[in-house]
């Protein structure tokens, strides 16, 4: 972002980024137009270019806000006093809350896995992955100290295993395709899954590695 954007009050910054996120979530980065973003954010084309060098710069700023939202939500929920199942369930509930309050941002985050976003995922993957992986690594390390995991299992592999279920859950909240995929794999497409039921199914799946 440029200095002019940083000088705006925090509320106006959020309004512009939230409006931009809505357009990026609906149309994707490549199809989204500056004109659409300006209309949604209620700013002129000239003003946008005072705030950001180009569309790419704006998109990276939206991604930064997305990462900050995830960090702020997840950083507050962990306690070493939580057992493994509770710590993972709380992470899933925090993800549900993020999807409810900031769906557009999580939709953009989910889209980073597609091939057309390679340049952005390469630049931001470490920032995003550290948010969840650091949390889950602490869960695994503390769980091992409480003898809730087989100590022979590698911490990184355990973290990766759990993370994949968390990501499947997250994607199912913001993508109809991934919602159907979740149903197909975890309940054979029977019935309409509530978010609570999804969390229960994820916990049931993950429980195979927890003593």
Position 26 pLDDT exceeds 90: yes
The pLDDT of residue 190 is 61
The whole-number average pLDDT for the span 60-72 is 93
Of the pLDDT bands very low, low, confident and very high (cuts 50, 70, 90), residue 189 is: low
C-alpha angle 167-100-121 in degrees, rounded to nearest 5? 40
The whole-number average pLDDT for the span 159-173 is 94
Write out the two tokens for 148. Answer: 């809730």
The pLDDT of residue 192 is 73
Instruction: Let me know: does 131 contact 70? Beta carbons within 8 Å.
Output: yes
User: Lowest-pLDDT range, 59-68, 86-95, 108-117?
Assistant: 108-117
The pLDDT of residue 7 is 95
Instruction: Let me know: does 175 contact 104? Beta carbons within 8 Å.
Output: no
Instruction: Let me know: does 24 contact 60? Beta carbons within 8 Å.
Output: no
Cα separation, 136 vs 162, whole angstroms: 8
The pLDDT of residue 202 is 95
Position 71 pLDDT exceeds 80: yes
Query: 112 or 52: whose pLDDT is higher?
Result: 52
Position 183 pLDDT exceeds 70: yes
Give 207's DSSP letter: G
Position 188 pLDDT exceeds 70: no
Cα separation, 41 vs 51, whole angstroms: 12
- Computed over every residue of the chain, the mean pLDDT equals 91
Is residue 193 helix, strand or coil? coil
Give 57's DSSP letter: H
% helix / strand / coil in the chain, to the nearest 5? 80, 0, 20
The pLDDT of residue 121 is 80
Model confidence pLDDT, tens digit, residues 103-162: 999 999 988 877 778 888 877 877 777 788 889 999 999 999 999 999 999 999 999 999
Write out the two tokens for 53. Answer: 């060098």
DSSP string, 5-39: HHTS-HHHHHHHHHHHHHHHHHHHHHH--HHHHHH
The whole-number average pLDDT for the span 80-99 is 93
Instruction: Let me know: does 137 contact 108? Beta carbons within 8 Å.
Output: no
Of the pLDDT bands very low, low, confident and very high (cuts 50, 70, 90), residue 28 is: very high
């Amino acid at each position: 972002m440029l200095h002019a954007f940083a000088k705006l009050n925090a509320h106006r910054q959020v309004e512009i980024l939230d409006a931009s996120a809505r357009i990026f979530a609906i149309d994707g980065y490549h199809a989204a137009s500056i004109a659409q973003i300006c209309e949604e954010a209620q700013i002129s084309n000239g003003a946008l270019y005072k705030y950001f060098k180009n569309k790419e710069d704006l998109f990276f700023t939206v991604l930064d806000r997305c990462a900050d939202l995830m960090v702020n939500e997840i950083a507050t929920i962990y306690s070493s006093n939580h057992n493994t199942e509770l710590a993972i369930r709380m992470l899933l509930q925090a993800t549900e809350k993020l999807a409810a309050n900031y769906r557009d941002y999580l939709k953009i985050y989910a889209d980073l896995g597609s091939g057309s976003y390679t340049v952005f995922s390469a630049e931001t993957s470490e920032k995003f992955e550290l948010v969840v992986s650091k949390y889950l690594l602490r869960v695994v390390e503390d769980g091992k100290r409480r003898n809730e995991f087989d100590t022979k299992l590698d911490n990184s592999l355990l973290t990766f295993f759990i993370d994949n279920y968390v990501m499947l859950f997250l994607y199912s909240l913001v993508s109809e395709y991934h919602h159907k995929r979740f149903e197909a794999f975890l309940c054979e497409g029977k019935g309409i899954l509530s978010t609570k039921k999804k969390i229960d199914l994820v916990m049931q799946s993950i429980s195979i590695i927890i003593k």
